[in-house]
Amino acid sequence: MWLKNEQATLEFAAKLAAALPDTGLTIHLHGNLGAGKTTLVRGLLQALGHQGNVKSPTYTLIEHYQLADKPVFHLDLYRLADPEELLYLGIEDYLTPAALLLIEWPEQGGDLLPKPDLTVNLTYQADGRNLQLDAHSPAGQKICDKLHK
């Protein structure tokens, strides 16, 4: 899918938010620095009802948002030196069945992270971004099916 600018990314994020199930889900976000991962997360959180700023957790590693009855955890693992650091951060506390996990740079977390239901890949193009979704579970496939209708 072609995203020509930030507005297109936010519009896609709103569509993604509408397709999410009520239960927990893990989404891995891949892309180079500046590819639009945090912009996508910001749009998703705002579409889910978050009021206020959405900060990149580049330095804090984890930002928590409580939306209605759904906890949302936005992780940015770019600066993670070793996956075991996640244990010190209490990663187990975030892995609840109801939680929505949005994980940037998931490769830095190794096997300590849950497998994704959905993977979002953002890549630079000449004057925009290309977005690719890959489902890795039945829940992820349902989201892809809804988005491709």
CATH of the domain at 131: 3.40.50.300
* pLDDT in 10s for each residue of the chain, 149 residues: 888 988 999 999 999 999 999 888 999 999 988 788 889 999 999 999 888 878 776 667 888 888 887 899 999 999 888 999 999 888 888 888 889 999 999 999 998 899 999 999 999 877 888 999 999 999 999 999 999 87
Say how far apart CA 97 and CA 106 lie, in whole Å. 19
Sign of torsion over alpha carbons 50, 102, 61, 79: negative
Tell me what pLDDT residue 99 has: 93
> What is the structure's pLDDT at 41?
94
Structural domain range at position 127: 2-147
Q: Which of 52, 3, 44 is nearest to 25 (CA)?
A: 44
Dihedral-angle region of residue 34 (phi above 0 means left; psi in -120 to 50 means alpha; beta otherwise):
left
Largest CA distance in the chain: 42
Q: How many structural domains are present in the chain?
A: 1
